[in-house]
Structure 1
């Protein structure tokens, strides 16, 4: 009897990272204090502990955003909570939301539940997923309420440079009612020559720039439930009031861990990138060795490769159906991936290399057996 293959998942959005020691020690200290004093845990203020808000503001100032103040920072129970709270505050039913794609599939449901009407701006793999000022201007209308970006981008790993940001914001400045929201949760996972720039580093002439981030991707705190946002003060206060009315503050031990991680952000992110780099090179090499592999510029950010497998799709089927069929074949071979059709890119698959090296080695061999089987 054949033993079923143990599945290797390259589909998860969470990395194979140990929790940083500084974060563990900080959380333990918060718990130990309550234990030794026989007191309950403190309950944090709705917007987060002041020392964490200030540390985050200081972090953004160090990244080139000198005007960011602690009052603009709100600590949330994960980045998704931050996103939904912001969207719920700035959107009214039917508001036009423009999102370049491919982009994180979770945005679709968040925008829908917040009442927005999502409109996509497809970007080309052949063009390196560049968003040009001309394309952006043509897609925006006076009725567009929000432009939704991620930098680095999930799933493509595309990083918008300082020059690209400057050119895009020269366009958005002509739309005073437009909010610009940048999801920067992967900002520390970068393999380019320059750090990932933050939207907050540019002037905000209409008070409409918002950044959402978190601690699970770049700072190895998956499962700790901590996110954050930075917004103009009035919006930050409105979001805080919404969160106070609908939930509870992030527990103090998690905020203590987040504070320690923030204060050691560079060294933690650099260690994660060093851990990821051999896997990244192995996966890129394996993909390049597949038959008919296109010449692809390696993604600069995140721990994903958005691989073009369109040449392996079954002919005669609709693209989305053929893409789903390919993903099923990979699953049957023991490799879970994310179907690019989720982002409107049928035939592409998102592959995470934030896994154990041994698991990645098994996965690339199985992928090869499916898309490029050995000839007898």
Structure 2
């Protein structure tokens, strides 16, 4: 946890105690100084003209995401999402009334989303396109050039909203910083971003997120937040403000801390039996490992994937089943763990997989 964030939150509490007054309640859209700090940071990243009024601070990123989806979607609206992607989108879209439609991408070409593939998948009935950048679970980062090509397609659909989940934007191991959707031309004023402080700024557990929307949409989102929940507590927002003001140093230190275990996990996976070529993730703190070679061929893929995850859990290795992200036989593994724990996990995985027959070893 960043010391500057902890100190800022502690000062809010100490000041309240010194003055013998109740803890201040934030406006539902967030403390003005935090909204302005976030807007300033996005402007520094290329979102010229963005104002604090377009930024709404929420009690966690998921709260903001659900408010946004609930405001945008009507019952049955088509929502297109390239997969693999975060498993939580499915339930949130459903609860907001939408119908999620997967657009499968391939690990073999590093989950590239080609403009012609996107154009073929979009229809006049598609209300929303969801892209995570960096992607959870794959760690794929979509570059500025890729955004330009993809948005040239979405611009052909004036009714389409584009949502970019950027909660991991500060965890990047590629040659360039992760581009924000907010810095791209928005011809139809239909680009929205969801982010938060738990990942890139190391404030897990503080329950602060944000959404950034076009000016015309901001009052409706604020009204929905007011009618359905409460603002994030002021000490948590003070921590978020301090983290925002020191975002580059916090994210830089986090990436430096993660780099050794990232390399350790990649090397350990490459040493497993029959390991395919692994493309190192450019963002997040996950590796999305291909374990399809270990699936029991007599089982349906989703069931076989669940069984494999159960075998790993029985060995004391907890992973996220790739089937929940649209990719059975893959698993999301975190490298945001101590090196000794990661080494033990890799040893147990090696032992577990050594006991499983590879498809080529199974009698015909």
Bin for the TM-score computed over the shorter chain: over 0.9
The residue number in structure 1 matching 2:55 is 73
Do residues 31 (structure 1) and 13 (structure 2) align?
yes
Do residues 44 (structure 1) and 26 (structure 2) align?
yes
| 1: CA distance, partners of 2:297 / 2:60 | 42
The residue number in structure 2 matching 1:114 is 96
3-state SS in 2 of match to 1:121? strand
Deviation at 1:373, TM superposition (A): 4.6
| 1: CA distance, partners of 2:302 / 2:24 | 50
Aligned residue among 168, 173, 189 for 2:150: 168
Aligned residue among 96, 101, 105 for 1:123: 105
> How many matched pairs?
357
| 1: CA distance, partners of 2:25 / 2:237 | 11
| TM-score normalised to structure 1 length | 0.94
The residue number in structure 2 matching 1:179 is 161
Do residues 153 (structure 1) and 135 (structure 2) align?
yes
Aligned residue among 200, 204, 215 for 1:222: 204
The residue number in structure 2 matching 1:143 is 125
Deviation at 1:372, TM superposition (A): 2.3
The residue number in structure 1 matching 2:312 is 330
Do residues 194 (structure 1) and 194 (structure 2) align?
no
Deviation at 1:324, TM superposition (A): 1.1
Higher relative contact order (CA 8 A, sep 6+): 1
Runs (4+) of structure 1 exceeding 6 A deviation are: none
Deviation at 1:320, TM superposition (A): 1.2
The residue number in structure 1 matching 2:295 is 313
Alignment of 1:353-372 (within 5 A): 353-372=335-354
The residue number in structure 2 matching 1:12 is none
The residue number in structure 2 matching 1:14 is none
3-state SS in 1 of match to 2:163? strand
CA contact (8 A) 2:5 2:242 kept: yes
Deviations 1:49-78 (A, max 9, x none): 110000000010111111211010000001
| TM-score normalised to structure 2 length | 0.97
Alignment of 1:261-300 (within 5 A): 261-300=243-282
Show structure 1 runs of 5+ residues with no match: 1-18
CA contact (8 A) 2:85 2:326 kept: no
| 2: CA distance, partners of 1:374 / 1:356 | 27
Aligned residue among 239, 264, 272 for 2:221: 239
Output the aligned Cα RMSD: 1.1
Deviation at 1:315, TM superposition (A): 2.3
Deviation at 1:131, TM superposition (A): 0.5
| 1: CA distance, partners of 2:330 / 2:222 | 39
Of the structure 1 ranges 170-179 and 312-321, higher mean CA displacement relative to structure 2 is found in 312-321
The residue number in structure 2 matching 1:5 is none
The residue number in structure 2 matching 1:6 is none
The residue number in structure 1 matching 2:362 is none
Deviation at 1:344, TM superposition (A): 2.1
3-state SS in 1 of match to 2:131? strand
Q: 1:203 to 1:314 in 2, by over 3 A?
A: same
